[in-house]
Amino acid sequence: MSETPRLLRALGGETLDRPPIWFMRQAGRSLPEYRELRTRATDFIAFCHNPEMAAEATLQPMRRFPMDAAIVFADILLIPRALGQEVWFEAGEGPRLGELPDITRMAGEVEASTGRLSAIGETLARVRAELEPERALIGFAGGPWTVATYMIEGRGSNREAARTFAYEHPEKLDALLRVLVDSTARYLIMQARSGAQALKIFESWAEGLAEDVFERIVIGPHRAIIEQVRAAGVTAPFIGFPRGAGALVETYARAVPVEGVALDTQASAELGRRLQAGGKTIQGALDNLLLRAGGPALDARVETLLAQWSGGPYIFNLGHGVMPDTPIAHIARVVERVTGKPAKAVAAE
C-alpha cells in the first residue's frame, strides 16, 4: 500500500478500496475534551492564535477517531482581523465585526496580514510533527465572498445587505475581494509551507447568488487565489466548497482548477457522478442533522452514499459541519463503518 495519505491519493484522482474520511468541524464543541481545553482561553480569537491550544484542538479528534485527515483549528474571520477590522465573538451569538475599514488602507496591509497569521503556521507545523504520516493535514481559508459578507454586514445574517452591496457598489466590492484574494493566497501559501498538504476554500455563503454574480464574486476570486498559490510553487491540492451553490456547482467545477469539490447536503447522486466523470474528486455530503439524529436512517444513508460515489474519487464527509450536540457514538459509528477501525476512548470522557 502506498505511503501517500489516503486523502491525497483521492485528491490525486484515485478511486480507492474505501474513501478517506474526515468531518468538517470534527474538532470543536462536539468533543468534551475540546470544551475542557477551550475554558483555558477566555477569548476565541486568542485561542485560535495560540499554537499550543490550537494544535491540541486539531489533534483531539485524531486521537479519538480513525479520521484520515486533520484540519487546522482556525477561523475564517482571522483574515479580516489581520487586515485591521475588529472581530470578536459574542457567546452564543457568533461573530461580530467592527466598521469596515477603508479598502485602500486594507490593501496596504495585505503583506503584513500574513505575518499577523504566523501563529496558524506554527499550529500546522506542530500538528504535522505529531500526526502519523498516513494521515493528511488540511489548511483552509474562507472564500473571499463569504468573508466579505461578514465584513460588510458585521455579523452572520441572511446576506441580503451584502448581496445588495454587490449590485449597488460593484467596484467597491471588487476592490474588497481583490484585497481578500491577495491576503488569502498569501495565507494559504504560508499554510502549505508550514505543513498543510491540502488546502480548502470554504465559500459557506455561495447560496442564493444569480449566475452572473456567482461568476464574478465566487468563481473569479477562487481562480485568482489558486493562480497565486500555484505561481508560488505550491502544489498542494485544493478542495473548493461552494456551499449552497446548487446547480452552479457544475459551473464552478468547470471554471475553477480545484482538485476536489466539496458537496453540501442537498447534492444529488447524479451531480456527484457527473463531477467525478469530469475529472474532479468529490467530497460530502452526509446531513449533519442526520449524524446528530442517528439511528437506522443514518446507517442507511451512509450505505447509500458509499454505494453511489465509491466508483470514483471520493472523500467521505458531511455536507456541513458537525453540530455541537452530536453524540460521539454517532460519529464513531460512521467512521468505523467507513474505515473498519473503532474509535478510542479518551481521558476526558
* Contact positions vs its own copies (CB under 8 A): 160, 163-164, 167-168, 170, 207-214, 244-251, 264-271, 285-287, 289-290, 292-293, 295, 297-298, 301, 304, 319
For the bound state, the minimum distance from the C-beta of residue 160 to its own copies, rounded and expressed in Å, comes to 7
Based on the residue annotation, tell me whether 34 is a catalytic residue of this protein.
Answer: no
C-alpha cell at 289: 442533522
Based on the residue annotation, tell me whether 333 is a catalytic residue of this protein.
Answer: no
**Residue among 170 and 257 whose Cβ is closer to its own copies:** 170
**Residue among 51 and 284 whose Cβ is closer to its own copies:** 284
**Residue among 150 and 309 whose Cβ is closer to its own copies:** 309
User: How many CA atoms are closer than 13 Å to the CA of 154, on its beta-carbon side?
Assistant: 4
CB 262 within 8 A of CB 239: yes
* Annotated catalytic residue, options 64, 116, 135, 150: 150
The sign one gets for the Cα dihedral 38, 43, 46, 48 is: positive
**Residue among 30 and 113 whose Cβ is closer to its own copies:** 30
Based on the residue annotation, tell me whether 182 is a catalytic residue of this protein.
Answer: no
Based on the residue annotation, tell me whether 17 is a catalytic residue of this protein.
Answer: no
For the bound state, the minimum distance from the C-beta of residue 213 to its own copies, rounded and expressed in Å, comes to 8
Where are any strands of DSSP class E within the chain? 69-71, 87-90, 94-97, 136-142, 198-203, 238-242, 260-262, 281-286, 314-318
* Annotated catalytic residue, options 18, 29, 96, 292: 29
Return the biggest CA–CA distance within the chain. Answer: 55
Question: Among 75, 70, 67, which residue's Cα sits nearest to residue 120?
Answer: 75
Question: Among 108, 107, 78, 109, which residue's Cα sits nearest to residue 95?
Answer: 78
Q: What is the C-alpha separation between 314 and 272, in angstroms, rounded?
A: 9
For the bound state, the minimum distance from the C-beta of residue 231 to its own copies, rounded and expressed in Å, comes to 30
Q: Which residues pair with 318 in a beta bridge?
A: 286
* Residue 181 burial (10 A CB sphere; 0-12, 13-18, 19+): buried
**Residue among 259 and 287 whose Cβ is closer to its own copies:** 287
**Residue among 5 and 220 whose Cβ is closer to its own copies:** 220
**Contact partners, residue 46, CB within 8 Å, separation at least 6:** none
**Contact partners, residue 169, CB within 8 Å, separation at least 6:** none
* Annotated catalytic residue, options 38, 193, 230, 301: 38
For the bound state, the minimum distance from the C-beta of residue 69 to its own copies, rounded and expressed in Å, comes to 23
For the bound state, the minimum distance from the C-beta of residue 262 to its own copies, rounded and expressed in Å, comes to 14
* Annotated catalytic residue, options 6, 68, 75, 128: 75
**Residue among 127 and 290 whose Cβ is closer to its own copies:** 290
For the bound state, the minimum distance from the C-beta of residue 306 to its own copies, rounded and expressed in Å, comes to 14
Based on the residue annotation, tell me whether 68 is a catalytic residue of this protein.
Answer: no
Q: Which helix (H) or strand (E) segment is 223 a member of?
A: helix 220-231
For the bound state, the minimum distance from the C-beta of residue 42 to its own copies, rounded and expressed in Å, comes to 29
Three-state DSSP string of 254-284:
HHCCCCEEECCCCCCHHHHHHHHHCCCEEEE
Residues taking part in catalysis: 25, 29, 38, 75, 150
